[in-house]
Amino acid sequence: MPPSRVTGVVLAAGAGRRLGEPKATATYKDERFVDRAVRTLRAGGVEPVLVVLGAAVTEVPEATVVPNPDWATGMASSLRVALDALEETQCEAILVTLADEVRLAREDVAAVLHTEGELVATRYENTWSHPVRIDRAHWRTLREQLKGDRGARPYLERHADELILVPATNPDGIRDLDRWVDAPGTSSS
């Protein structure tokens, strides 16, 4: 599938309760989490990029912002909002990441983008993580199964035999930044 038919999706709607501020507007190394995620997706070859916001809604350069009015119900509602926003487009797949994966490498984005398969994720140790690419053929069933704060994880676990895993080039990039104490030298806005 041509990379031009893949839309990047950044899920950034949460309040960041453990962090103490919404992750979309928090900063890491003088850059907002959300801007960093968009920049990394684009550097990895993914364009356009859609950002789902909720607890904090702000402009995001070089991305389309879609608000999630039900953001407090969890990640599943944000993924549903993204799928709904792309339903009538020519997009054939989404490449999803989270705003709080601030150390994500563009090489990992590019690897997932260019790997053949309908379901592709980054392999980290003995599990998988973002970025994840989900082809349109899975959207309807995925949308029906989205619940709570687990996003696509239950769906992908049920389709583990179809999930192609690409080794992470930057294992540190897979870790979410949930608390400032987990990232020495960071500052919040």
Give the domain CATH number at 153: 3.90.550.10
168 vs 126: which has the higher pLDDT: 168
Residue 189: inside a domain: no
Q: What pLDDT is stored for residue 17 in this prediction? A: 66
| Average pLDDT of the residues in 92-108 | 90
Q: What pLDDT is stored for residue 186 in this prediction? A: 41
Q: What pLDDT is stored for residue 155 in this prediction? A: 93
Residue 168: inside a domain: yes
Residue 81: inside a domain: yes
Instruction: Name the residue range of residue 151's domain.
Output: 3-175
Residue 183: inside a domain: no
Write the burial class of residue 116 (CB in 10 Å: 0-12 exposed, 13-18 middle, 19+ buried): exposed
Residue 181: inside a domain: no
Q: d(Cα 174, Cα 122) in Å, to the nearest integer?
A: 8
- pTM to 2 decimal places: 0.88
Structural domain total, the chain: 1
